[in-house]
Structure 1
Amino acid sequence: MTARLLPWAGSDGKPGYLSTDGRGYVARVADRMEAVQLGMAAQVVACSRPLIAAPAVTVAELRFTAVRLSECLVDVMRVAESRGGRLGVRPPR
């Protein structure tokens, strides 16, 4: 059994871990959640590119886009850390 970083934070905002062999119900839910988070990040990036390039974009639109991109980056970094941990790779500090 190994400790897996879950793709969501606890109610206190702290990371959650699962002791798993990778085959249980919660591990499968975490796998699906990671796939959703990565898919959402790809969609946000795809939608943000034309907005950022638009000459008439407003500050409010850019701010909204920056917040969404930041949220996606946090999710993707958590997925990368979790997957790296399962491969035995330690994140740089």
Structure 2
Amino acid sequence: MTPHNELRLLPWSGPDGKPCFLSTDDTNGYLSRLADNIEAIQLGLAAKLLDHASEELSNEEADPEELRSLATELTEALRDTLRVAESRGHRLLAPGPDTRADDTMGPTLPAAAFG
């Protein structure tokens, strides 16, 4: 069995907003578990923020400054969610130690999915 040593995109940024990566074979190590927990928190917060945004957008008397703040928070949540999706997607498509070469193709999307 060969070790699976792919770089994992972590759910936080480093200095100057640069991405952080983890190189490990241990998916149950401290940093891997910490990243999993932070991803779960980020996704949970994004879901709550989406619910809040839906409520605010249906309020015809919503304060423009509050809507601007909400848009900023939604942008941050979307950025975090996309980072989680990228990280998880990369790990799903990476061949594992027992994966045959012809099994590494991920699901395909129809061309119409891209506009």
Task: With the length of structure 2 as denominator, give the TM-score of the two structures.
Answer: 0.74
Secondary structure of residue in 1 paired with 2:85: helix
Deviation of the 1:87 alpha carbon: 1.0
User: Which residue number corresponds to residue 49 of structure 1?
Assistant: 54
Partners in 2 of 1:29 and 1:51 — Cα distance?
A: 33
Q: Which of these two proteins has the greater Rg computed from alpha carbons?
A: 2
Aligned-pair Cα RMSD in Å: 1.0
User: Which residue number corresponds to residue 30 of structure 2?
Assistant: 25
User: Which residue number corresponds to residue 8 of structure 1?
Assistant: 12
Runs of 4+ residues deviating >2 angstroms: none
For residues 42-89 of structure 1, the C-alpha deviation after alignment (integer angstroms, 9 at most, x for no partner) is 011111111111010121111011001111000000000000010126
| Structure 1: 5+ residue stretches without partners | none
User: Which residue number corresponds to residue 58 of structure 1?
Assistant: 63
| Structure 2: 5+ residue stretches without partners | 94-105, 107-115
Q: Greater strand share, 1 or 2?
A: 1
User: Which residue number corresponds to residue 88 of structure 2?
Assistant: 83
Partners in 2 of 1:12 and 1:51 — Cα distance?
A: 32
Amino acid of the residue matched to residue 21 of structure 2?
Answer: Y
Deviation of the 1:11 alpha carbon: 2.0
Secondary structure of residue in 1 paired with 2:20: strand
Partners in 2 of 1:87 and 1:20 — Cα distance?
A: 16
Identity %: 48
